[in-house]
Amino acid sequence: MSVAPVLQENIADRKLRELILYITWSCLNYGNIGATKLNKILFYADFAAYLKLGKPITGQEYFALRAGPAPKRLLPVRQKMVESGEMVMCKVQIAEDYHQQLIVPQRPPNLSEFTAEEIAIADQMMVRFFWKSAKDTGEESHKFIGWIAAELQETIPYSSALLDAAHILGTEALPISKDQIQHARGLEEKAKSLLDARRKNQSCRCLGSVVLSRLCVPAVAAGGRDAASTAGLGPALQRRLTTEKGRSLCSLGVCALGSTPTYT
């Protein structure tokens, strides 16, 4: 029986729906997947895509639950999928005191809005988590620094993946050697020296601006002319006198000495 896809209000919900169908459809030959494990595969796929591709696959917002990270929009999107007949939720008893919600897709996914790189990342996360139990998958997500730092039901920003990339990607964090530490310290000293030189340069520029602003005052001390008589000389002569005074002051080293001239 073919089921027509339900129109969603935005692309994030649409891609979340199709990614859910892709993950559960891909796992059909090996057994159905539960809700807890699905949440974690979605989370790790989106955050790994953020690290590798610069943006998540679905664009969904994730928040912290007691069981681990989950998409905020998962429940309403999943409910619409159940109502439209695109998936079936089955509650089964796994152990005497443990029940699991299994998700059974009713149609294949539409992957027209996904790139090959996005699908490859989703495949990697399915392989990583499918054979683990829901308990082990949840416990692994509790080691992510973004979930640890977040309050209950608080949004986990995608940028937190940058702080714990090895965990998101499932790789071992590379140890830092002593040579790398020494190199970093050397760079720190060089950066400090450059910053100090820049501050000194900015101080000299500020002092030079003060001197030049004083030179532009329309008064000439040497000739005894006041502001009114100087103004009467015309713009061209004013510029010439200003230039000559600037040259004489520079030659006397006023800027270098840090002193400023006084005009009467």
pLDDT in tens, 58-69: 999 999 999 899
Q: Report the distance separating Cα 154 and Cα 66, nearest Å.
A: 11
Does 177 have pLDDT greater than 60?
A: yes
Strands of the 33-34 sheet, one edge to the other: 33-34, 98-105, 87-95
For residues 180 and 36, the model is more confident at 36
What is the average pLDDT value for the chain, to the nearest integer? 79
Exposure string over 172-194, b if 16+ CB within 10 A, otherwise e: eeeeeeeeeeeeeeeeeeeeeee
The closest of 38, 173, 175 to 105, measured between CA atoms, is 38
Domain boundaries, the chain: 11-169, 203-264
Q: Report the distance separating Cα 50 and Cα 118, nearest Å.
A: 10
The pLDDT tens digits for 178-197 are: 777 778 788 888 888 888 88
Q: Which stretches does DSSP call E strand in 75-157?
A: 87-95, 98-105
> What is the reported pTM?
0.63
